[in-house]
Amino acid sequence: MGGHDDVAKQHAATKRPAGTERPAGTERPAGTERAAVVERGPWRFELGPAGAEHVTFAGHEVLRSVRFVVRDHNWGTAEPVRLSQRIDTDRAEVVSEHRAGGITYRSRLRFEFRPDPGPGRASGAGSGPGSGVLVLTGEGEALTAFRRNRIGLCLLHPAGLAGVPVTLAHPDGSREDGRFPAAISPHQPFRELAGMSWHDDGIRVDLGLDGEVFETEDQRNWTDASFKTYGTPLDLPFPVAVAAGERLTHRLTIRASGAAGRATGATGSTVRSVGPAHSAAGPGLPGPGSGPGSGPPVPVRIGEPGAAVLPSIGLGAASPDETGTAPPGFPAAHLLAEIPLDGRAAERIAAALRQAGTLDCPLHLWCVTDRPERLEAVAAHLGPRITVLGCYHPATFTTTPDLAVAGRRLADRAGVAGLRLAGGTRGHFAELNRMGAIPPGLDIVTVSVTPQFHVTETAYLAENAGMLRPVTVQARDIAGGRPVHVGPITLAPRVNPVAEDPADAEIRRSDARQPSCFAGAWTLAALAAAAAGEPEALTFFQAADARGVAGPDGRRYPAGQVLAELAAFRGAPLRAVTGTDTGLPVLAVGAEEPLVAVGNLGPAGRIVSLRLPAGLAASGAARIDREAARRGAAGPAEAVTEAITLAPGEVFLLRCRASS
């Protein structure tokens, strides 16, 4: 037991300096309250019960969001419920109550639009009609006593700032030049902050932070498309007792200047109500704004085949405690099973082997144990069906050196041709990024992904899909030439590596969007982004049940339809694609008879025109839409390249051939 305790302490030491977050919406609860879009001069944001989303100046996104958060001793979030809201010409205010368990906490967020004070201000940014000041004051009061890990303002910066120079202001008055990290930073890139300034896309931004010492972490470690600046540095002791009646005040001052983009005028504000901000809509999807596309078509150009190829696509294994079965005939390249080496290990391995037999594919067997000697019990199950053996510690979610040694010994003794040893992490990229040296003896390096470690809203999930590319690229750098396997890639989180209670580390949670069209379009986006990072293999979802690719009756969900259509192109070259955006994922694969898949992740319809390279012509098409979701299979569509309409969540598949 001493070895286990040492590993657990080491993990605690590495997890505290960054990302001690609970999964599945603890940072961003998916509410149903309508948000108000507030526009005042060059400023615009969406006001909800916890704060502001997409704060823009002159049409340029300054902050992805700023919220008031209340985090308990176990990193759970007390979700905000709006009590009142008021919006005037020069200010906006929202009062909310944060509740969870025995916690009741009241917050008041006041946004004030102020004129720029001119060239005498400390930041030195220009003044005039192309400049402005937005001051956010966050006040909080505990209505009950509790223990907290964090309370106060939390800012998200767009991931697009990666590599941008920044000047950091510290509480002692000193200043320091730095950059938003280009590579994903394993720990906090900025500490002891009282403010920060940067130029981007013609806009200068100066942030002032008062009431707390702040620091910044790189949320791309969890495939979030953001950097996060928050109060209460993680180097300070936590949790901290909060007495009933205890108050705090945080203040954020944003000064911005640059070319004034779209503004609503200098004397008034525009306020309109929109649907639930970043709605976590269910299978009906996607909510406000759905319908056919409007406006001019988006031109998307398909290029020539490149050197990168489509990786193999496998599925996760369903738990033997669940009722579903693997869908026969699904073209999975492999099945991945995660097996705790406890008293039920033999039963679970046998069930996974049966599922792999149903799919007629190899089994990747990941063993979870803190005792290397327990790997010996797996030897009796090793055979030609099992082609990958993985070893992971339950406390760190990584492959420790002693597990790597024991796994290598077992794999070498098994006498199974082609058996490879996998390791790295079965948690998030954060765990792999902080491992240091990869243990010797591994043949494959692994990392898994969920878009919902911090967020649940549909709009943020769409943005986060694109982060699989930088995560995969950096994982390959860490792997040092070894092939990388990415997965399981799941919509709902399956593990929480930073759970304070070990019982909370394994999550058996599903997402209502799993059977939806949105999940199909998201799967296409995730697959396209990850494939661009050139991994050897990807594993998505699981074979059956609520987190699976098919329903209890065997009908494939849209996500399963997307994967089945593309799995046949394993090893085929990827083609260059230009003209897309975050909400319009496109994957083009194949040399002589390529397939082009286009999806719509946005809340409104889109129109797309595809520009095929010379020598290619459309030969057939299919559409994965609501009818396909009901039917369990993609339906036929007109094989066109011009004015292709896509409702929210739809995927259009165009097959091509050589033109005569």
Can you give the residue ranges of every domain in the chain?
Answer: 37-258, 285-307+572-660, 311-568
Model confidence at 8, in pLDDT bands (50, 70, 90)?
Answer: very low
Q: How far apart are CA 548 and CA 318, in angstroms?
A: 8
| Cβ-based neighbour number of residue 541 at 10 Å | 27
Q: What is the H or E stretch that residue 477 is in?
A: helix 468-479
Alpha-carbon distance 203 to 333, whole Å? 48
Mean pLDDT of 57-66: 95
Whole-number pLDDT of residue 227: 98
DSSP 484-508: EEEEEE-SS--B-TT-SSGGGSB--
The pTM for the full model equals 0.88
pLDDT at 4 over 60: no
The tokens 């950091």 sit on which residue? 168
CATH 2.40.30.10 for domain 37-258, yes or no, is no
Mean pLDDT calculated for residue range 492-498: 82
- Which one has a higher pLDDT value, 61 or 553? 61
In this predicted structure, the answer to whether residue 283 has a pLDDT above a threshold of 60 is: no
pLDDT at 272 over 60: no
pLDDT, mean of residues 531-552: 94
Taking CA atoms, 453 is separated from 223, 491, 492, in Å, by 8, 10, 8
Q: Which positions ≥6 away from 173 have C-beta within 8 Å?
A: none
pLDDT for the residue 131: 87
> Which band of pLDDT confidence, cut at 50, 70 and 90, is reported for residue 123?
very low
**311-568: CATH topology:** TIM Barrel (3.20.20)
| pLDDT for the residue numbered 545 | 83
501 or 291: whose pLDDT is higher? 501
Tokens matching residue 285? 């999807």
Burial class (CB within 10 angstroms; exposed 0-12, middle 13-18, buried 19+) of 601: buried
Q: Is the peptide bond before 488 cis (omega within 30 degrees of 0)?
A: yes
For the record, the structure tokens of 162 come out as 């990666």
Residue 121 in this model has a pLDDT that exceeds 50: no
> How confident is residue 117, by pLDDT bands cut at 50, 70 and 90?
low
Cβ-proximal residues to 575 (8 Å cutoff; 6+ apart), any chain: 302, 303, 304, 305, 306, 588, 589, 590, 594
> Which pLDDT belongs to residue 505?
73
Query: What pLDDT is stored for residue 109 in this prediction?
Result: 98
Q: Is it the case that residue 29 has pLDDT exceeding 50?
A: no
Quick check: bond before 239 cis, omega within 30? yes
Helix (H) or strand (E) holding 527: helix 517-532
Give the Cα separation of 583 and 286 in Å (integer). Answer: 13
Question: Can you tell me the distance from the alpha carbon of 15 to that of 499, in angstroms, rounded to the nearest whole number?
Answer: 10
The reported pLDDT for the residue numbered 294 is: 63
Supply the angle between the helices 517-532 and 558-567 in degrees, to the nearest 10. 40
Give the three-state DSSP class for 617: strand
**Percentage, residues of the chain above pLDDT 70:** 86
The reply to whether 311-568 shares the fold of 37-258 is: no
pLDDT of 128 strictly over 60: no
Distances (CA, A) of 146 to 104, 189, 394, 658: 9, 31, 30, 68
Integer CA distances (angstroms), 292 to 70, 91, 603, 621, in order: 40, 37, 11, 18
Is the pLDDT assigned to residue 495 strictly greater than 90?
A: no
Report which of residues 563 and 265 the model is more confident about: 563
β-strands 131-142, 247-258: how paired? antiparallel
Q: Which candidate, 381, 319, 377, 376, places its Cα nearest to that of 350?
A: 381
Residue 173 CA neighbour count, 13 Å, CB half: 0
Closest residue by Cα to residue 565 from 532, 597, 598: 597
Digit-coded pLDDT (tens) for 343-394: 999 999 999 999 999 999 999 999 999 999 999 999 999 999 999 999 999 9
Q: Quick one: pLDDT at residue 30?
A: 37
Query: Which of 120-129, 385-394, 647-656 is predicted with the least confidence, judged by mean pLDDT?
Result: 120-129
- Binned at pLDDT 50, 70 and 90, residue 631 comes out as very high
Higher pLDDT, 126 or 502: 502
239-262 pLDDT, tens digit per residue, is 999 999 999 999 999 999 997 443
Residue 261 is predicted with a pLDDT of 42
pLDDT value of position 2: 37
Give the integer Cα–Cα distance in Å for 197 and 256. 10
The conformational region for residue 586 under phi > 0 = left, psi -120 to 50 = alpha, else beta, is: beta
> 225 CB contacts (<8 Å, ≥6 apart)?
64, 158, 159, 219, 460, 463, 464, 466, 467
List CB contacts of 380: < 8 A, sequence separation 6 or more: none
The C-alpha atoms of residue 113 and residue 267 are separated, in whole angstroms, by 11
Confidence (pLDDT) at 16:
33
Residue 8 CA to residue 13 CA, distance in Å, equals: 9
For the chain, give the percent of residues with pLDDT over 90.
75
Let me know: does 499 contact 458? Beta carbons within 8 Å: no
How large is the average pLDDT for residues 283-301?
Answer: 62
User: pLDDT at residue 21 above 60?
Assistant: no
Q: Which of the four pLDDT bands, split at 50, 70 and 90, describes residue 466? A: very high
pLDDT confidence bin for 291, thresholds 50/70/90: low
Structure confidence at residue 635 (pLDDT): 96
Closest CA to 651 of 592, 583, 589: 583
Widest pairwise Cα distance in the chain: 79
pLDDT band at residue 457, thresholds of 50, 70 and 90? confident
Does the pLDDT at position 28 exceed 60?
no
- Whether the predicted pLDDT of 268 surpasses 70: no
Residue the block writes with tokens 């070990």: 502
Q: What is the mean pLDDT of residues 140-151?
A: 96
Buried-state track 132-162, b at ≥16 Cβ within 10 A, e below 16: bbbbbbbbbebeeebebbbbbbbbbbbbebb
Three-state DSSP class for 578? Answer: strand
Q: Give the 3-state secondary structure of residue 474.
A: helix
pLDDT in tens, 606-626: 999 999 999 999 999 999 999
pLDDT at residue 540 greater than cutoff 90: yes
For residue 186, what are its two tokens?
Answer: 């394993």
Q: What is the dihedral of CA 77, 55, 63, 461, to 10 degrees?
A: 60
Q: What is the mean pLDDT of the chain?
A: 87
Calculate mean pLDDT across residues 188-214: 96
**What was the pLDDT predicted at 651?**
98
Q: One-letter amino acid identity for 560?
A: G
Minimum mean pLDDT range among 170-184, 325-339, 476-490: 325-339
Phi-psi region of 41 (alpha: psi -120 to 50; beta: other; left: phi over 0): left
| DSSP of 393-419 | -TTTSB--HHHHHHHHHHHHHH--TT-
> Looking at the predicted structure, is the pLDDT value of residue 98 above 50?
yes
Give tens-digit pLDDT for 166-180: 999 999 999 999 999
Rounded to a whole number of angstroms, the distance between the first and last alpha carbons of the chain is 71
Provide CATH code, domain 285-307+572-660.
Answer: 2.60.40.1180
Confidence of residue 124 (pLDDT cuts 50, 70, 90): very low
